[in-house]
Amino acid sequence: MALELGGLSLQQHLMKMSKVTYVGTTSCAIGCWLLGLLRVPCLSPGVATFCKDSATPVAAEEGLSGLLATQKGDVGCYGNMDEFTQEELRALDSEGRALLTQHKIRTWEGKEKILTLINVYCPHADPGKPERLAFKMRFYSLLKIRAEALLAAGSHVIILGDLNTAHRPIDHWDAVNLECFEEDPGRKWMDGLLSSLGCQTGSHVGPFIDSYRCFQPKQEGAFTCWSAVSGARHLNYGSRLDYVLGDRTLVIDTFQDSFLLPEVMGSDHCPVGAVLSVSSVPAKECPPLCTRFLPEFAGTQLKIRRFLVRLKDPVFRHSALKLNNKTQVQMHQNKARVRSTRPRPSQAGSRRGQKNLTSYFQPSSSHPQASPNLELPSVGALVTPKTSEKEVMAKVVEGQASASEAKDEKEIQTSFWKSVLGGPLSMPLCRGHREPCVRRTVKKPGPNLGRHFYVCARPQGPPTDPSSRCNFFLWSRPS
């Protein structure tokens, strides 16, 4: 059984969505790719899970709180959520950040068990928006309550997705230069969720294990996310934000490997995965949340009538009918006005029917006809006298002078417009490499919003690497 999570790979063509999990089998494969939007507005985060027929889930549910549950084919087991208000739970599930699927698995001993897959895209804590950090921590708390409730009900649990936190200093390239790295609330939450590294039994805190660090506890440079703006992926200057977390018993008994795929391009994240020694037992039918039940995927052509909604509000219907009548009256008035402005045909040519083609070639009465007595000039009168050689040379010199004047005038106009428009400015050279810089724009809200500045064009990397970006910075002069 394989678990994969990360950037665009097999589903690159699916609109570049946010987070998508793929579930299938080779011996049984459960995988996750960072892609997708599921029933949330555009530009919102979102997760989705793709399942092969051989890994059809027995239940599926959107959200962690249970407020989006339909009571048919849901996963259930919500735990004690008394610390949250209904409004808070609704807000935490309003961004489409969690999707649960429940599968039957068979171990190598032949025992059938339940595995719940929690596919998440945890919120990002923007330093400029303190309220988002609070939102992120509340989401973390809700995720832990739901996962522990599922474990208490006897299900194995895997949490996979973008947790948006680099857990240990080894998971972040620049952890040494970050203030209070260990004191970050997100890292403290992960400390409480995860057991100590390694698969040995002993003192541990949380019920889950980071599967990658279980198999690769000391692997440095194992990152899954890089800044696309600064080109940091070229020098592997990133962090590990994407995880496959399994409950302790499941990891120790069934996990065979856990890996990253940084060579797979297409996103600022890369796929990660794990291999389990189990097989899946597919359900006989898909849960109601499955997209195959949506009309868009029914395989039949939709009628335009399906996209029209009946008017139920009598006030709105009356205003709509009034507007429709007013529009029709205005259309009739416009047609009458157009008819009145059309030129009327003359009485002589008022016969209806198609005109004869020859009528368009008859001579017009407004132009006088040529007189038959008009005398044409003789051929001899049309012959020009022979021009002298001096006159020809004078004309040539005069033409060259006028051409030179026109050329000078064009150059003057060109130089004028160049002085007015200026053209693109030459890029300054960075001091570290003496190479042309790139111009960036400040997008962070503040007094410098919209200002332009120059930085080194090389990709971001460790300060000790001479091939990485130097610390050159220069504000652009206002035009």
Give the CA distances from residue 437 to residues 457, 459, 466, in Å, rounded to whole numbers and listed in that order: 5, 12, 16
454 included as an active-site residue: no
* Eight-state DSSP code of residue 173: T
Residue with tokens 């006809």, as numbered in its chain: 369
What CA–CA distance (Å, rounded) separates 165 from 245?
13
Tell me the angle at which helices 130-152 and 185-193 cross, rounded to the nearest 10 degrees: 0
What CA–CA distance (Å, rounded) separates 185 from 97?
20
Residue 57: burial class (beta carbons within 10 Å; 0-12, 13-18, 19+): buried
Cβ proximity of 278 and 107 under 8 Å: yes
Give the CA distances from residue 85 to residues 82, 120, 300, in Å, rounded to whole numbers and listed in that order: 7, 21, 42
Annotated catalytic residue, options 74, 162, 171, 210: 162
What CA–CA distance (Å, rounded) separates 214 from 195?
10
Cβ proximity of 43 and 49 under 8 Å: no
Cβ proximity of 34 and 7 under 8 Å: yes
Question: Of all helices (H) and strands (E), which one includes residue 467?
Answer: none
What CA–CA distance (Å, rounded) separates 369 from 257?
101
Q: For residue 44, how many C-alpha atoms fall within 13 Å in the half-sphere facing its CB?
A: 14
253 included as an active-site residue: no
What CA–CA distance (Å, rounded) separates 223 from 460?
15
Cβ proximity of 454 and 472 under 8 Å: yes
Give the CA distances from residue 171 to residues 221, 269, 474, in Å, rounded to whole numbers and listed in that order: 7, 14, 32
Annotated catalytic residue, options 78, 121, 212, 237: 121
What CA–CA distance (Å, rounded) separates 188 from 133?
13
156 included as an active-site residue: no
End-to-end CA distance of the chain: 60
* Eight-state DSSP code of residue 436: B
Structure tokens at 307: 């996209």
φ, ψ of residue 319 in degrees (nearest 5): -70, -35
The residue type found at 232 is A
Instruction: List, by residue number, the catalytic residues.
Output: 121, 162, 269
